[in-house]
């Protein structure tokens, strides 16, 4: 934060405090929701641009009650998940423009639970808001949501369940953190780092902020204690959590003209009737098809041959033209023209929507083994 | 491996070495709002760019587009 920004922040805090005490004004909160929670529609409305409403909408009503007296949800910004994710940079700036008109003291997004696009958009808007408006920005996500790792340092991300099943409990956590951040002087806390409740206490993902603090035991003592607990098979609390994803050795370039290239997709494409047995969400299986059978020539191909089993996106566009997900006709053309040495006559398919990371890794390894056996040199993977 | 995805932040988080931003969530390699011929040309561009990326060194920090990079 730059010096002018810090000063303006302090002035705002002081002004508001006096104004509030004098006029007993409420703290103002703006809430961000996607098209579903904003009660516009489902996947079919995921392309809607921003809709601005006064007051709370949907879960915002319960949130409002939980925030209690003295805090008011003055406005709700609703946006379609696809509209936002098509251009997150611009969309988050656009969101900021709408949000600042409400002169909020606090911003809350979601919660997004396990929804990937929603989580990423909540995180992106929180980041913009906290950087540009210098107010606390809070959202909520399940620990597997990709938005957690991307935005944990930029927003307060409260840990939620994986669905709206426990919405009330999750909103209560958000409300509790909100009150803690509003009612103690935000400026003091920002400058000194004191008084911001810890992640453990308030149930949010640690923001990677390293703070010096005094403890009674030296690091040597703590380390040996930890090791002794571990050796005895007892519980111990690590002071540092390792990152989730191991780094992969990046493969060297290939020459497609003399390579075998395969096409893989996690868009959930399968034969009509779901012969693959995909689950629309949390899927743990993958399959493969011989492309001559599965992707007949354009003349004999029909939309009725296919199905998409994936609850994370609206599949009409893909069923209308398979090449939008699996560009098979173009790949065949390139093979016959010599841009690709060989197109593997097998298409590998799975449905990737809120699948646990471990299962993704297992499936990936199994697919890689099949590709290796078939001497594949390069893969084009398409995802939605 | 090159991944064509409309949500490249996830691919970057995992550490994918060749990331190509897709057109949209419901149509990663095409665009249903375009007329047939124009869309076909767009799908060609995606495949061509994907093959170019397979032939280039990997970099898990860069998100590529069909025109260049972000």
- pLDDT greater than 70 at residue A24: no
Query: Which pLDDT score is estimated for A197?
Result: 78
Give the mean model confidence (pLDDT) for residues A237-243.
71
Residue B45: burial class (beta carbons within 10 Å; 0-12, 13-18, 19+):
middle
- pLDDT greater than 70 at residue B68: yes
Over the stretch A122-172, which tens digit does the pLDDT of each residue have?
A: 999 999 999 999 899 999 999 999 999 889 989 999 999 999 999 999 999
- Tell me the percentage of chain A whose pLDDT exceeds 70: 89
Both tokens of A43, joined, read: 């996947």
**Taking CB atoms and an 8 Å cutoff, what residues of chain B touch A85?**
6-7, 25
**Taking CB atoms and an 8 Å cutoff, what residues of chain B touch A313?**
25-26
Q: Do the chains contact at A250 and B32, CB–CB below 8 Å? A: no
Looking at the domain assignment, is residue B70 inside a domain? no
pLDDT band at A11 (very low <50, low <70, confident <90, very high): low
How, if at all, do strands A27-34 and A71-79 pair? parallel
**Taking CB atoms and an 8 Å cutoff, what residues of chain A touch B4?**
380-383
The better pLDDT of the pair A373, A15 is held by: A373
Q: What is the DSSP string of A210-236?
A: ------SS-HHHHHHHHHHHHHTT---
Across chain A, what does the average pLDDT equal?
Answer: 89
Say what the alpha-carbon torsion angle B50, B53, B59, B65 is, to the nearest 10 degrees.
-50
Over the stretch A160-173, which tens digit does the pLDDT of each residue have?
A: 999 999 999 999 99
Across chain B, what does the average pLDDT equal?
Answer: 95
Contact predicate A32/A107, CB 8 Å: yes
Q: Is the entire prediction scored with pTM above 0.90?
A: no
Over the stretch A346-379, which tens digit does the pLDDT of each residue have?
A: 999 999 998 888 889 899 999 999 999 999 999 9
**Fold of the domain spanning A3-202:** Rossmann fold (3.40.50)
Pairwise CA distance, residues B18 & A354, whole Å: 22
Of B5, B30, B59, which has the smallest distance from its Cβ to A383's Cβ? B5
Pairwise CA distance, residues A190 & A234, whole Å: 37
Contact predicate A31/A109, CB 8 Å: yes
Give the residue from chain B lying closest to A89, CA to CA. Answer: B70
Domain ranges of chain A: 3-202, 256-382
Domain count, chain B: 1
pLDDT band at A22 (very low <50, low <70, confident <90, very high): very low
**Taking CB atoms and an 8 Å cutoff, what residues of chain A touch B25?**
46, 81-82, 85-86, 117, 313, 384
Name the one residue in this structure whose structure tokens are 């064509």: B4
Looking at the domain assignment, is residue B69 inside a domain? no
> Could you list the residue range(s) of the whole structural domain that residue B17 is in?
3-64
- Tell me the percentage of chain B whose pLDDT exceeds 90: 87
Interface of B with A in 4-63 (CB under 8 A): 4-7, 9-11, 13-15, 17, 22, 24-30, 32, 39, 43-44, 46-48, 50-51, 54-60
Looking at the domain assignment, is residue B40 inside a domain? yes
């Amino acid at each position: 934060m730059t010096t002018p920004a810090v000063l303006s922040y302090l002035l705002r805090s002081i002004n508001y405090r006096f104004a509030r005490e004098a006029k007993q004004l409420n703290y103002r909160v703006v809430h961000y929701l996607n098209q579903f929670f904003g009660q516009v529609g489902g996947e079919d409305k995921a392309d809607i641009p921003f809709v601005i409403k006064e007051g709370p909408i949907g879960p915002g009503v319960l949130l409002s009650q939980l925030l209690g007296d003295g805090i008011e949800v003055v406005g709700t910004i609703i946006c379609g998940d696809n509209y936002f994710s098509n251009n997150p940079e611009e969309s988050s700036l656009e969101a900021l423009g709408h949000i600042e008109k409400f002169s909020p003291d606090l911003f809350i997004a979601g919660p997004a639970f396990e929804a990937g696009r929603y989580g990423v958009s909540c995180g992106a808007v929180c980041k913009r808001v906290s950087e540009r408006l210098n107010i606390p920005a809070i959202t909520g996500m399940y620990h597997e949501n990709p938005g957690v790792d991307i935005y944990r340092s930029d927003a307060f991300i409260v840990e939620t369940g994986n669905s709206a099943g426990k919405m009330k409990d999750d909103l209560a956590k958000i409300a509790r953190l909100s009150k803690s951040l509003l009612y103690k002087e935000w400026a003091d806390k920002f400058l000194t780092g004191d008084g911001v409740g810890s992640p453990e206490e308030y149930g949010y993902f640690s923001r990677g902020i390293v703070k010096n603090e005094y403890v009674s035991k030296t690091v040597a003592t703590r380390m040996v204690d930890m090791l002794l607990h571990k050796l005895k098979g007892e519980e111990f609390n690590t002071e540092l959590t390792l990152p989730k994803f191991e780094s992969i050795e990046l493969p060297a370039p290939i020459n497609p003209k003399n390579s075998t290239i395969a096409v893989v997709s996690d868009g959930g494409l399968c034969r009509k009737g779901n012969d693959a047995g995909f689950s629309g969400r949390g899927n743990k299986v993958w399959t493969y098809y011989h492309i001559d059978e599965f992707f007949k020539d354009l003349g004999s191909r029909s939309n009725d041959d296919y199905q998409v089993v994936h609850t994370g996106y609206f599949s009409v566009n893909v069923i209308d033209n398979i090449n939008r997900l699996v560009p098979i006709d173009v790949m065949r053309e390139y093979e016959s023209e010599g841009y690709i040495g060989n197109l593997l006559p097998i298409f590998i398919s799975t449905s990737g929507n809120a699948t646990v990371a471990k299962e993704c890794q297992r499936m990936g390894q199994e697919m890689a083994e099949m590709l290796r056996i078939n001497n594949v040199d390069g893969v084009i993977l398409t995802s939605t | 491996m090159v991944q064509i995805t409309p949500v490249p932040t996830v691919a970057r988080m995992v550490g994918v070495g060749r990331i190509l931003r897709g057109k949209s969530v419901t149509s990663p390699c095409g665009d249903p709002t375009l007329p047939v011929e124009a869309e076909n040309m767009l799908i060609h561009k995606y495949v061509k760019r994907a093959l170019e990326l397979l032939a280039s060194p990997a970099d898990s920090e860069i998100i590529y587009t069909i025109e260049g990079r972000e």
